[in-house]
Structure 1
Amino acid sequence: MDVPMKLRKITYYAASGKCSKITRRKKKLKKCVCVLPQTGELEFPRVWEELRNNNQLCDGVVRCSNGTEFRIHRAILSAVSPYFKALFTNSINREREENTEANTNIPTTILEALLDFAYSGRCSITEQNVESLLKFADQYEILGVVQLCCKFLLDEMCPANCLGILQFAGQYFCTKLMERGKLYVRHHFVDLLTDSSEYVNLTITELLDILKDDELNVKSEEIVFEAIKKWVNFLPMKRKIHLLELLKCMRLHNLENKQITKMSKWSLLQKDPECKQYMVEIQQLVRQFLLEETEGGNDNYSFRPRIPYEILFAVGGWSAGSPTNFIEIYDIRADRWLLSTDTDSVPRAYHGLCSLRGLIYMVGGFDGNEYFNTMRCFNPVTHEWSECACMYYPRCYVSVVMHDERIYAMGGYNGRVRMNTVERYNPDKNQWELIAPMLKQRSDASAAVLNSKIYIVGGFNGQEVMCSAEMFDIATNQWSYIPHMNSARSGVSLVAFKNALYAIGGFNGYTRLTTGEKFVPDSDSRWVEITEMMTPRSNFATITMDDYIYIIGGFNGSTTINYVEYYDPESNEWLDASSMNLNRSALSVCVVSGLPNSREYSYLGRLSNGDTAKDIELQEG
């Protein structure tokens, strides 16, 4: 049978509501054992497999559901299964002789796989057998196989099967797998709506649990509205009674009245007087909130921002005539900048920043006196800074990117000369290595990764501002030129977005720029102009979030600024976002996704701690 998506069998079984006798029998919660500890592969004595293969010293028999018999060693099977230990030792009826035989309802292939684990610690798990393996491993208390099955399901989880895996885990009390599954559903909700055939089969309770969650990862509540429509329209006559309850899950703080008006035109909503009135009241609240600019809306659930999946960290920079160690966090769901107390001990500017494996790495920079070859690492979960291996060279005005879990530091200024050297950091070894140098000396340039190649543009070589650009092929360890930009740019930002590179802003040797240009590699095209920014700037920070390119801070030619704007590549237009609390240039930013403590870094988290919106404004101000 053709199975169009991964783990289709699991998805179907879980959605059917079927449940084994052992699952129905268990009423009380048991300790979750579904997640393997962080250890290496289990090592079992090789002689066990040898004895099994040669049928030597066997002292018991296990029969599967069709009567097939397997000769076994009772001690070995008892070691991995409390069920078989109790059966073979007669621990319940001690006056009886020990059993040497066991009859099971396990299919032959599954029993073979379970015995493989008992004798070797290994078990072949596939999409076809994982459901049955987990079912019978749970029933016969072979906890090691339960753990391996859950690890397999976690590794295979995708938007198409996550709901089925989540429901399936619930049948076998795999609470850790359920927790991970719930997070996956919330973090990948947009893809799930497109890819999952199970979404429309959710119960109202399950759907409400998802839509109400603060960590639901949607860039606009319009997505939540479309999700409601999709679920209700699947069985409209039966499900329309839940419409008002579902509408109340939406957070409408980031919607305009025209968007709410458009939603209100849905025919099912128009036919329900309560729903219709609710939308009218929401529009009135939105209008009042915008006109009065009060904080009252934050006490209303409909105005409660969600917790962002991506947390933006803005670190360091040049402000008020000197470097700073100031850190701000941007909550994109609330469009708010929040201060952080996790500052590093040493202020620095003109450094590089990137995130890797949930950690933030700060590379090189300048403190007003010293040019750094150091790299510092910040853990957003533990709130701790630590020192990493030093680079070969000090690098101020350095260009930093991350690719394939390696950090690349390119060019920069060491206090004497502009450099073309490049080095790469391996976090597993905590070690830097020198790789092929660039074709040009560059400081104050900008780099980005696109399609497994590193691109760097512009900069200053000590004599002139540059318009040249080059590309590093990681596979061949070689640099080559790509077409020049239309404008020379130092203090520029290069951003990779979808299939294109965007070089934005900078200094051309005479003035700070508002212009930007776009280049599509592997095509015959040249750099082409895009719509200009609202504010001229150089030495600013750039990041992509929610399919927008965010431009943060910088120097406008006369002063450092805190203005933030973002570019929509689809519409080729610029829009305003909230400004930072501090004017600064030569800062760096990075995004860390899926933090387990993302609430700590969110506006909602600050409100939940008892702070009012006004309190937060005073703290930031």
Structure 2
Amino acid sequence: MPQRLTKVRKDNERDVSLQDTIGLFQAKSVEGHVGQEPAEPGGNKAARHSPLVPLEHKCYADPDHCDAFFSALNSLRDEGLLLDCSLLLLGRPFGAHSLALASVSRVARGWLKSGQVTMGTHLPQPDVVGLDGKVTAVGLQAVLHFAYTGEARSGPEETGEVLEACGWLEVDRFTHCCMPVVVTDPLEVMKKAPSARCEREKNLRVIRELWEKGIGCDVKLQADGVSFQAHRVALAACGDFFRAMFLSGMKEAFQREVHMPTMPPTALSSLLGFIYSGSLLLSWDNVFEVTEAALRYQVLGALSLCQDFLVAEMDPDSCLDVLALAEAYGLGELAKKAEEFILSHFERVAARPKFLDLPAAQLAHLLAKDSLYVSSEVEVFRVVVAWLEEEWGARLPFLAELLKQVRFPLMAPRELQEVEVTAQILIQAPGCREILEGIRSARQPREISSCQPRTPNQVLVLVGGDHVKDDFSRRVPSAAVQFAHRFLAGMGLIRKVEWRALSHMPTPARFRHAMCVLNNQLYIFGGRKYYGQRDILKSVLRYDPAHDTWEELADMQQQRNNFAVVCLEGVMYAIGGNLDDTEYLDSVECYTHEDNTWRFTQPLPSALCGHAAAVYDGEIYISGGCDGQNHCLGSMWHYHPVLGCTPRAPMRGERAGHVMEVVCSHLYVAGGLYPLAGGFGDQLACESYDPASDSWGPVASLPMPHLSPASAVLNGHIYVLGGSSCQTCQDSHLVHCYDPQSDCWANVGMMQRAYADIAACVLLVPGHLRQ
């Protein structure tokens, strides 16, 4: 066995393996749980009062539980199910659940205490209570409606009969609701008006008190020799399993004691507590067993709270257990959240010993994800080696498949050197020799790889632009290449972007240029180096952030600035622009990196400058801009390199000097200027285009002008940076972010200075720059 490359872990320091987690839900002492039967000689443990809650427990409550509970009770009553009380009035029976009636009536509670109503659903008929001469049908129906819904329903002509029924049945809360309120202020009347929801909550609290005291309980649930009393109708109202048990004719429907196999007493106690209150006390000590119990017995409200806890309290120590639980029981949304957490905190999770118990297939699945976050791709390789060393002989056959998920071309040269040294001892594994050759080729800076950067590791990068000197003497082109390391939120509305230097463009500095990214390589095209007619460029640069190297590529065939570049299937298209500030271009030329050459493709229908272009679903779209007569356009074109342009639905307004970005299935345009009588104004209105329906729709407007800004999409949000205002002629240092989900723009901070005619993209930068 080769020399170990990671720290040796003692066996007795190992956590329980992932595979063991599901089967080893922790069982705790059942002492002190509400609803548990008193101790019997030689038998069950006793509990008279609720225990003190451990500090690590947190209370999770379902705000809709009470409504769902009484809605289910009402449905059972409407269907005539589990009715244990028949209120007989002039020969007409009114079926009810004595538990529901007892939640509002002191008399009904007395029936339960005395045994006059036994709540015995095992009996052939419900218990009968005669009410002739005591109440009327109108009054009784109003009381029952109040018990099941919390609604104090009575008209003026019915008040007397309702008060009579409330008085005989001692329904004090309803009586209070029916008493006239002598208040002249309408707001005070509203304050004193009873809330049905509030009354239902009071009803449930009474039912819980009855359960805690064992009043009216008609079933004992046995779990591992421990008995818990309960009401059948309450169980049936909250769980599909219990409803089926008591209504399907199974033997349990007629038994006083029901055995709950595989149910830990602590889990059953928690479920009963939830049924009677809508809340759960959860901690990592009990959440797994409660989740399993809620699933097994289909108490969906409790299951939802358990999942809320698992998501909210998830950390690097628990996320793998949560994922195992979710996958074992088919909880898709929970599994998704757990996987997202693992991917977002990958290095911390991978440092836990239980991570080394992951099956090879699951590890490969995680490593293949674009959303995996690591400070550097070399960390992924180190994780693979650590996993391999845990069981060298058994895991060696899986090594090649795992190494295929490591994106070696994204590593810096010194990281690749480390990998190459380590890989010498891995070459004995099947299929690894070819991978080692790939590592060697990745060390060549000129090698173009099709390696996709991992999305969450990418950052917003700014390149070039021009700005006013600190002494305001003149404008200066910039050669800076910088990235947004962090977006910070301060007190109140204060937002800040932490910018860091990435590199420096070779001479000359440039602005009004275009950029695109292919395989994490940054391509910079044209622009201008200064402000004269002969300062417009046709040169092209390529920057490799992994190696921090710059390379000059073949020149475009024409000088261009104020133009657009897009990348489609590895080919880059330079579209329109202007040649010398007076001559606008209709030409389009494309670049292929394999042979480092440019060639012309189909031209535009007319010359175009200051437009925007983007690629969606393998198609090129071009919006707005100015034509050769300096007219601002609202056009939208679909461009094909061979067939040329096809018009699509025009924008709702004209614009030029704007940006266009793709998020999900829509294209968004923002910023720029629009024509006014005798000039131009700042275009704040924004729009989105749906290619499927060929239609435009308005979205939230920009809060501030951005003419010729930079833009990029990061984590599903559109960032618009800098530019200027055509009305004030002032440059902007602001960074605005648009969230398509909320249709809202937010000011997230500023650039280091006010840049105009700048360009932005998204790149994966070396890990050491982000530490």
TM-score by length of 2: 0.40
Q: Which has the larger radius of gyration?
A: 2
Q: TM-score, normalized by length of structure 1?
A: 0.49
